[in-house]
Structure formats: structure tokens, C-alpha cells
Amino acid sequence: MCRHLGYLGRARTLESLIFDGSHSLERQSYAPRMTQGNLLNADGFGVGWYHRGEAVRFRRAQPIWTDRSFREVARAVEAACAVAALRSATTRFPVDESCAQPFRAGTRLFSHNGKVEDFDAAEGKLRELAGDLAEVPDARAPVDSALVFALAARHWREGAPLGDGLAETVRTVTALAPGRYNLLAADGAALAATTWGDSLFTRAAPDGLWISSEPLDDDPAWRRVPDHSLVTADPASGVRVTPL
């Protein structure tokens, strides 16, 4: 179910973040090692990063390996904080650019690796809890992840820190519907992620912090995050993992 990657550290090109490594994020689009129930992540991709304090994005509804123009652009763009995602569309939801992640709420970027089981039964309550979607246009995308994102955005608007917003979202949505809820978010200064039903790894180095669905290479510094966990990462405190 999809793949995603968060990075925070020394500025580096988007090409190095997405295409470098023996098991790069780009390679995971056609040869993932740890996904459940799918062989390809070819239903779109996106990357978000920060430019002069603003969260900006590039999203497409095609497989990342087919977009040669993006790779040229990625060579020329540097980022000190980024979220990138590959999509494997859940049955019944369209392959559309609006469904490609990361989603955006102000300066926060969000990705959901997973699915809401029995979405029809939970949709009404999720919409009720999400509240007014006028401030978060991405929450209107025709995909289950959009309402999970809307819940996180609501918690952030109400003052929750980045990681607490994700943790509260997981607690809320799992009480309504089973599913896989690996969430990832960034705000330009920190990263946060949850594990709930799918793989997640972290890597801490002097020049950067990574959170990724799968290790990007064979570096032994990659650490598996236990299921049902919250990960927070920033330069001052490094990577911290707490149970959900």
C-alpha cells in the first residue's frame, strides 16, 4: 500500500532524496520489498518541500519512472525538509492528480500509506469529525486518505503539535474503522510519523534524518520502527519513538 519518505537535514537535491540508493524511493515504485497486497506503486507520485518558508509541491497521476521531466527538475531543486510519496490506488478510488500525496495544510505536508477498511461505513462520521474543509482544499480529494488528512489538519488548527496531531488522528480513525494508518508529516522544522499496519524505518546521520517505508539502501544505520508507534524527529532531539 503506497510508499513514502520524509527528510530533514542538510539541503540536498530532490534527485538524491528520491533516486539515490540501491533501493531508492523511485525503485520502490516498481520493485517494493515490503508492501502488502500490491506489486507496484504506479498510480501517481508527489513530493513537497519548503521554499522561503512556503510548502510547495509537485504531483502527478503517472508512475514516477515515466516522468523524465521531473527527474530533470529534481536535479535542480534542493531542500532541507521534504516529504515524497508513491501511490498504489485503493480499488474504487480514481487515479487522479488530486489524490496524489503529499497533501498540504498551510506549511504542513501529509502522506498516508494505507487504507480505511469499510470506508463506506466510516465516511459519514469521518466527515463529521473533520469539520469545515474550506481551509484545506486537499481534504476534498476523492480518496479515503483525504478525510484522514482532514482529521490531522483539524487537530493542528486546534493547536496540536505535529506528532500529537498524527497520534490523535490514528486514535480517532482506528476507533471508527480498521485499516492501515502509517501517516507522515512535516512542517519545515520537524518530521512526525505513525506506524499502524505497515513497515517504517528511520535513519539518523550527522547531516540528516530520514523516515521511510523501506530502507533506501543497505546501510546498517536504518532502524525498524515497531508497529503502533509514533515517531518524531528534529535536529535538536534527533529521532524519538513512543508507543501509540
> Is 2 assigned a catalytic role?
yes
Q: Report helix, strand or coil for 83.
A: strand
Alpha helices in 64-161 (DSSP H): 68-76, 119-130, 144-157
Give the C-alpha distances (Å, rounded to integers) separating 149 from 49, 201, 218: 18, 21, 32
| Helix axes of 162-174 and 144-157: crossing angle, nearest 10 degrees | 130
Cell (9 digits) for 228: 503502533
Which candidate, 116, 198, 117, places its Cα nearest to that of 149?
116
Contact (CB, 8 A) for 26 and 214: no
Q: Are strands 179-186 and 108-116 parallel, antiparallel or unpaired?
A: antiparallel
Catalytic residue among 1, 2, 167, 184: 2
Active site residue ranges:
2
